[in-house]
Amino acid sequence: MHITKRGLIKMSLLSLSAITALSVKNVLLTKRADTAQRAVNNSYSAAVEELAGSCENISNSLEKQLYSASGQVQQAIAADLCRDASAARSALARLPVSQLDLENTNKFLSQVGNYSMALSKKLQDGEKLTSEEYSSISDLCRFSKALSDRLWELEGEVAAGGLSFEQAEGVMADEEPPHVTEGFTDFESSFDDYPKLIYDGPFSDNILEQTPHMTANAEEVSEDYCLRKASSALDISVSDLTDTAESEGKMPAWRFSDDKGGAFCEVTKNGGYISYFLKMRNVDSTKLDNDTAVQKAESCLQDLGILSMEKTYYEIQDNVMTVNFCYSDLGRRIYPDLVKVSVAMDNGDILGYDARGFLTNHRKREYDDKICSVLRAKKEISPRLRVLSDRMAVIPTDGGNEVLCYEYTCQAASGRRVLVYINAVTAAEERVLLLEENENGTLTI
């Protein structure tokens, strides 16, 4: 085929145009990727700054608490501490450090505001703080100051461009952590002389260190037995669970996962109970109705031998339904004995299971025979509420104990449903919860 000179020029121009277009596209894609990475780094930088600022506020509030003897002032300081600790936890959750074991850091941020609130209540009740309690406040102040100083150093390095978060994502726990995480690991390792905080609150050390009832006297089982339990629960082959680790603490366990990081399962060394498992995948659609998804969750409990459980509430997020179950003891709802099951709404796969609350709290309970009548307890409910139904329930207290109550489901004039818990022995109002109901489920707040 004969090609004219004019045709050759035209073809050359077309080729040049195509090359130019591809080059421009590559430049744009590279620029877009750089812009996206800068946005990620800016987000991380803002989170470090927020975390450092919150920890500095915590340190300042704790120092104020050392010099205050008024219950009213202490309560205001405790409220500030709770707010700043919550902000710090939120900022920490936005950083790429999830692969690190920051148990002590998270414990500190959970305890600090809660402990201060317990002390302020003690002062308001006319009691005095002990020298040990003041010593604990001083220690907490010192830890928060050390964390704040290190975080401000990290923030300065990031702002100066000497530190990037780019390599932090995707780092596994057994790999050498990038420099950005060293500030957190250094602080985590400094908790050798962290004070033991015993107080009336949910994060008290006597609660955090509680020995689980289900595993306390259970016989120790082999690693192989736990592996087969994990394989069965995850519905994958034993040979696919290639990574094995040990989990210590009050509920020692074997942790199994696949080499792709898409499936995890932890089985207790004592008793061989599955404490939790997780299967990671995106669920792009909802094909099951809610009742069918709940039935899938109930079948999961049956298969795992968790019996006499009652569905309480559920929530749907990203096409995954998470159902909360509690143990039913002859009609009494035992809320501390909690199990959560997550169901994929596209095909009914069980993607998540968490029985740690159940394993920690479940046991045979004895109940007080001398209880008031349901009608007597009902008199303590606000006249602004209309009672719809009642049942017996056991609820946890902030101090780690339990109380038998009448649970009244009520309705306000606005239509809002409210749960009111009246002590079945003393007829005192113990707790009021609001029911948040929408198309994505029913939760308590």
Here the CATH number for the domain that contains residue 438 is 3.10.450
Same domain, 184 and 95: yes
Alpha helices in 252-313 (DSSP H): 290-303
Instruction: Residue 273: name the closest of 225, 236, 335 by CA.
Output: 225
Same domain, 53 and 103: yes
Residues 366-379, mean pLDDT to the nearest whole number:
94
Classify residue 2: in a domain, yes or no.
no
Query: CA–CA separation, 188 vs 399, rounded Å?
Result: 26
Classify residue 1: in a domain, yes or no.
no
The dihedral region occupied by 312, where left means phi > 0, alpha psi between -120 and 50, and beta the remainder, is alpha
Domain interval for residue 84:
27-165+178-202
Classify residue 235: in a domain, yes or no.
yes
Strands 385-396 and 332-344: parallel
Q: Are 394 and 402 in contact (CB under 8 A)?
A: yes
pLDDT exceeds 90 at position 147:
no
Q: pTM here?
A: 0.62
Q: What is the tens place of the pLDDT at every residue in 310-340?
A: 999 898 988 999 999 999 999 999 998 999 9
Q: Which of 331, 361, 391 is the last residue of a domain?
A: 361
Query: CA–CA separation, 92 vs 86, rounded Å?
Result: 10
Classify residue 124: in a domain, yes or no.
yes
Classify residue 429: in a domain, yes or no.
yes
Same domain, 106 and 33: yes
- At 177, the pLDDT band (50, 70, 90 cuts) reads very low
Same domain, 256 and 135: no
Give the CA count within 13 Å in the CB-facing half-sphere of 344: 14
Same domain, 420 and 309: no
- 348 or 173: which leads in pLDDT: 348
Query: CA–CA separation, 190 vs 150, rounded Å?
Result: 12
Same domain, 145 and 51: yes
Q: Are 148 and 128 in contact (CB under 8 A)?
A: no
- 262 or 58: which leads in pLDDT: 58
The domain tally of the chain equals 3
Least confident stretch, 185-194, 290-299, 409-418? 185-194
Q: Which of 334, 361, 388 is the last residue of a domain?
A: 361
Q: What is the CA radius of gyration of the chain?
A: 28
Same domain, 385 and 440: yes
Same domain, 378 and 273: no
Classify residue 368: in a domain, yes or no.
no
Same domain, 237 and 309: yes
Averaged confidence pLDDT in the chain: 82
- The predicted pLDDT at position 364 comes to 94
Classify residue 172: in a domain, yes or no.
no
Q: Which of 333, 361, 389 is the last residue of a domain?
A: 361
Helix axes 103-124, 5-66, angle to 10 degrees: 40
Classify residue 343: in a domain, yes or no.
yes
Same domain, 64 and 196: yes
- The predicted pLDDT at position 381 comes to 95
Same domain, 182 and 39: yes
Same domain, 328 and 392: no
pLDDT exceeds 60 at position 280:
yes
Q: Are 272 and 220 in contact (CB under 8 A)?
A: no
